[in-house]
Amino acid sequence: MQIIRHSEQTLKTALISKNPVLVSQYEKLDAGEQRLMNEAFQPASDLFGPITLHSPSDWITSHPEAPQDFEQFFSDPYRKTPSPNKRSIYIQSIGSLGNTRIISEEYIKWLTGYCKAYFYGLRVKLLEPVPVSATRCSFRVNENTHNLQIHAGDILKFLKKKKPEDAFCVVGITMIDLYPRDSWNFVFGQASLTDGVGIFSFARYGSDFYSMRYEGKVKKLKKTSSSDYSIFDNYYIPEITSVLLLRSCKTLTHEIGHIFGLRHCQWLACLMQGSNHLEEADRRPLNLCPICLRKLQCAIGFSTVERYKALVRWIDDESSDTPGATPEHSCEDNGNLPKPVEAFKEWKEWIIKCLAVLQK
């Protein structure tokens, strides 16, 4: 295992900057927020640790990128920021997300509530779910894993056409595997930062995807025409477990972070680290490091205390979403399913430690 450890001064500059304007901006933050963010460059901090690499296939080793500090984020001329007229994140589900309609509806409400807390201060709305056929996307059977896959680029074009006037971004979510081009095996997700759209698949987050007993394998693609999507009728959907919900929340917030202009984090263990495979994605924490937290706060303008409290409420509220999430189309009341939040308990303890620092 390799540990990427930056000097205190490097981390301090990445967070605060040497630009007098940005230093002044930092000094105007609430005292508690400064205290928490300063943990970034405290070597003994038990809140924010260094990035660890476990294999040559890990993201940083295999995808060399220039790191992005706060000043580079702030000065990026192409960065998109929510405006008073565009402060809504829309979620579009494509295909069924659960084995029953009720599970599907509850799962998307859980994700909506989580996004509302994570991107605190923005509205999060649901678009009417659509079947795969509505997107007119290309699809195939993966020659290695023998599961169905839909074309990510085609879905992005569909989402761009559906983007509402008040949308900061529209994100599609699906339980069907994705591929970006014929030569690629698969992709967890893909986004267009200029168009403010993204599509993310949770198909590989089920506990059985890589096992011999996986039920989503297709022997042969029987397609009468390019407009025949009948193969997706009753296609296999993994069980919604606590681990699958955690992985889904992680991917969704990571990719929306990119739409805000946050690049892959190379400073500390952070949600915005890149990941090349599921094992690496599982090591990535749910939280943002202080440098990325400052970036997101700069983009949205939230109170860090209120954001963390909203995340704790989401974990504690074991029904559906947090109060105030606004589905564009309300569902009939079917009785709420218990939200599987066991996998989030450790993170809740971490947030409570952060709140103690913020409110000291």
Q: Which are the catalytic amino acids?
A: 255
Cα–Cα dist 247/262, whole Å: 19
User: Which residue from 184, 183, 194, 133 is spatially nearest to 160, judged by alpha carbons?
Assistant: 194
Length in residues, the chain: 360
Report the side by side order of strands in the sheet with 88-94.
Answer: 123-126, 88-94, 167-174, 197-201, 189-192
Count of beta carbons in the 10 Å neighbourhood of residue 139: 20
**Antiparallel, parallel or unpaired: β 177-179 and 148-151:** parallel
Classified as helix, coil or strand, 140 is: strand
User: Tokens for 336?
Assistant: 């709420």
Q: What is the DSSP code (8-state) at residue 95? A: S
| Burial class for 205, CB neighbours closer than 10 Å (0-12, 13-18, 19+) | buried
Q: For residues 169 and 89, is the Cβ–Cβ distance under 8 A?
A: yes
Backbone angles phi, psi at 265, to 5 degrees: -80, 135
Residue owning tokens 């981390």: 11
User: Which residue from 42, 39, 109, 16 is spatially nearest to 350, judged by alpha carbons?
Assistant: 39
Residue ranges of alpha helices (H) inside the chain are 8-16, 20-27, 31-37, 59-62, 70-75, 101-118, 152-162, 242-259, 278-283, 290-300, 304-316, 345-358
